[in-house]
Structure 1
Amino acid sequence: MRALITGAAGMYGTALIRRLLDGQPEVSIIAVDDFSRNFPGENPLAAISHEGWAIEVVQRDYAELTTDELERWSPEVVVHFAARISVPESMDDPHGYFQNNEIGTFRFAHAIAGMANPPLLIYASSPEVYGVPVRVPMSEDHPLHPVTVYAATKAASEMHCMALHRWWGHPVVVIRNFNTFGPHQNIDGHAAVLVTFARRALLGEPLQLENGGHQTRDFMFVEDAVDAYVRVIEKGKVLAGSTFNIGTGQETSIREVAQTVVSLSKSASEIVDVPGRPADLPALCADASRIRAVTGWVPRTPFEDGVRRTLEWLRAIDQ
């Protein structure tokens, strides 16, 4: 099998590539990334390349890839992770998010659609598309009410991809990833909350809680998340037209995350309250029963174990 993965140097891309290549000599990867982020530690794709696996690293903006290039690579599966993913940053740079996430995905999806035999396209989306929940946990038929630019670009990109399936019958699957964390997560700028807390705890800096830290999220370790992608890839085009949530179905408050990180890191960091930001959703929690019924996927990593492994990774890159 040949797979093309965008955002290949990110947390999801790195974990999925390793999972697909490990012990699978018949698998080859085209890893596309523009390397616009700063890497904590070694570039993970460089490390994978040194291990002798069948991987071709392409340093490009995914939106610039043409149908002719895609035809030459002839992937059977395309997994589209590449995106700018910060909710607050999207409100500071709405045009950049619109250009990168929505316009970029539109161009990329139509480059794929131009292929003689379009591959299975798996689009990585977000539960932010649901907006303020009308019920929790949230199933895939929960109304879409995005309240931020980031969420709007993800919802629109889902629709651009699914339009290719509904009009032309091209094989498309959407996966809405609830709050994923783990090694190789971005730690710069507007980083995700758990890795931000972990980084601050290891440095002995205060952990800042917005809105009292009462918001809840569904935290899932990245290795569990990529297992869901592998199962969808294995099922293949029979799943075309499907949308899946992936998450644990367990709500954890942001305050509980901070307390867990401080405890497991044995940090002296204080937990402090700061003013909240607008449009911070009160809760996100996945009903993942659909993907469980179709593929048998179940997340298996306990939350505290995932936090420990994330802390170990952060300690290693700081050495």
Structure 2
Amino acid sequence: MRVLVTGAAGLYGVHTVERLCKRDDVERVIGVDDLSRNFLDTDPFQLVDSPEVREKFEFIKMDFRGLDNILLNKLDVDVVIHYAAYVSIPESMEVPDKYFEVNELGTFNLCQNLLATRNQPFLIYASSPEVYGTPIMKPMDIDHPMYPRSFYAVTKLAAEKHCHVLHQWYNYPVAIVRNFNTFGENQNVWSYSAVICNFIMRALRNEPLIIHNDGRQTRDFLYVKDAVRAYEMIVEKRKQCKGEIFNIGTGKETSISDLADIIIRLTHSHSGKEYSAGRSADLAGLCADISRAREKIGWMPEYSLEDGLLRTIDWYSKYVQKGA
């Protein structure tokens, strides 16, 4: 089996490369990434370096939007895992055109080029719970109404629909995965960084952890190694996953204020908590109903929040020590 991973240098990508390369039934893993938003200044795949990765992994530095049907035919893959995307909610409100071009139009064009290939590889599209918008009920199942509240969420939902039409109209093999708030090693630290890596980096420097609003808003935090195992299981059981949509999360809510307390404790930090005005469109809470993933592919998370945080803190601490 040959697998193509877009966004291969990102949080999901590097861990997926590692897992797939260790499989006996995987001959080749091809990673595509333009390296425009990866955390490390050096080779991002050093995180998962192993004899298997060195033997089976091939990296192509390019924007995934350059994957036309000619190149896809040449790569001759059986599965495409499409992670590549712009992922910041606030940034999407500042530069919505870029989010449209990459997340929606880029995915639409990828779908059309996959449709034009000889062997039409199975497509797994990485989506987001932001497509649901404000929860009407929790946990949120895959049939929850869709009320996206940011341009990021709109582009992810639109991209989902392009993938869905590909399956409905052409019977193209597609699965969609809505990843709840995933964290772990190699998550990007930048001006729009996700809350966990932001809190960890600030705690390691004994800087105050900035919490929006009152901190009672909740999220369903999932450790990356659990998340990519779900993708691996879909690859393995792809024949029975055709046309499916999955939520992956823990089914447990953690408030942002409690998260800050946990990270301060685990890092032995002297940081305090500071509260500031939040974004008006922020969701009050997210919690995944993962019953479809459990029943269809047998997936359940294995890491507790604290286990995942300890592993992530250990990794980030090395870069704080280097002055990152």
For the superposition of Structure 1 and Structure 2, which TM-score range results when normalised by the shorter chain?
Answer: over 0.9
Q: TM-score, normalised by structure 1?
A: 0.97
Residues 1:38 and 1:13: Cα distance change in structure 2 (over 3 Å)? closer
What is the distance in 2 between the residues matched to 1:63 and 1:135? Answer: 37
Quote the offset at 1:46 in angstroms: 5.4
- Please point out which of 295, 300, 303 is paired with 1:301: 303
- The runs of 5 or more residues in structure 1 that have no matched partner are none
Deviations 1:187-227 (A, max 9, x none): 11200001100010001111011011111000000000011
Q: Does 1:179 align with 2:181?
A: yes
> Residue deviations 1:45-73, cap 9 Å, x none?
35657742211111111011110100111
Summarize deviations over 1:136-168 as a string: whole Å, max 9, x none: 100000011101000000000000011111010
Structure 2: tracts of 5 or more residues without a match? none
Which residue matches 2:133? Answer: 131
For 1:65 and 1:71, the matched residues in 2 are separated by 10
Q: Is the 8 A contact 2:14 2:47 kept in 1?
A: no
Residue 55 of structure 1 aligns with an amino acid whose one-letter code is F
Describe how 1:1-319 pairs up with structure 2 within 5 A.
1-22=1-22, 24=24, 26-40=26-40, 42-45=42-45, 51=51, 52-318=54-320, 319=322
CA distance in structure 1 between the partners assigned to 2:43 and 2:155 by the alignment: 28
Q: Using a 3 Å threshold, how does the CA distance of structure 1 residues 110 and 49 change in structure 2: closer, same or farther? A: farther
Cα deviation for residue 44 of structure 1 reads 2.0
Once the two structures are aligned, what percentage of the paired residues are identical? 46
Amino acid at match of 2:127: S
TM-score (norm 2): 0.96
2:26 & 2:132 partners in 1: Cα distance?
38
Which secondary structure does the structure 1 equivalent of 2:147 belong to? coil
Note the aligned Cα RMSD (angstroms): 1.3
Q: What CA distance in whole angstroms lies between the structure 1 residues aligned with 2:167 and 2:223? A: 30
Superimposed CA distance per residue, residues 243-269 of structure 1 (whole angstroms, 9 cap, x where no aligned partner): 000000000000011000000000001
Asked if the contact 2:183–2:223 (Cα under 8 Å) also holds between the matched residues in 1, the reply is: yes
